[in-house]
Amino acid sequence: MRHALILTLLVACGGGTPTPTGTVCPDPDPGTLTYDNFGKPFMEKYCTWCHAADIPRSQRNGAPIYHDYDSLLGVLETPDHIDEQAGSGPDASNDFMPPGRCPSVAGGSLSKSCAQPTEEERQQLAQWIACERNRPHTF
Ligand code: HEC
């Protein structure tokens, strides 16, 4: 019985596959989360250690090329992937990214635990992406 419970918990928490969070930008867009006040600092804190355009393939610690989050344009090239890997919302709570081990300098060797976003930050990420992708951009 006890084992069955533990097994259920393990399956519920540990497994899972990247799933769209189903987050929708409120209409009208409240405009509270922006690239400057949220997206950029979030990416720099958690993601650009591996996902940046200036880190060559050999130093990305496995992060796929063309997933570069050191610019708004880069983020908006794979918004669904970001939502499915790191966002949280009504349909899913995704914590696949960042992974467990991180470099202490961008592109360096894996030497420490990655800082992990809070649940609230993951919800804000999904919310920001949902809104930002619909805003007008000049690029
Ligand atoms: C330590 C380096 C590292 C950090 C930091 C990191 N990633 Fe990754 N990322 C990877 C690796 C390695 C893969 C490939 C993993 C795989 O395919 O299973 C990956 C894959 C991805 C993918 C592509 C998945 C796909 O194939 O569609 C996305 C999107 C992504 N990461 C987003 C993020 C976001 C957002 C952050 C910050 C919250 C982040 N990553 C932080 C290493 C990293």
Give residue 72 CA to ligand 1 midpoint distance, Å: 17
Q: Are 20 and 126 in contact (CB under 8 A)?
A: no
- For the chain, the structural domain boundaries read 27-132
Euclidean distance between CA atoms 34 and 31, whole angstroms: 7
Distance in Å, CA 98 to ligand 1 centroid:
6
Q: What is the pLDDT of residues 2-57, one digit of tens each?
A: 555 544 444 444 558 999 999 999 999 999 999 999 999 999 999 999 999 999 99
Helix (H, G, I), strand (E, B) or coil at 122: helix
d(CA 113, CA 115): 6
Q: What is the pLDDT of residues 18-27, one digit of tens each?
A: 999 999 999 9
pLDDT at 16: 87
Per the CB < 8 A criterion, the answer to whether 105 and 116 are in contact is no
pTM (global) more than 0.75: yes
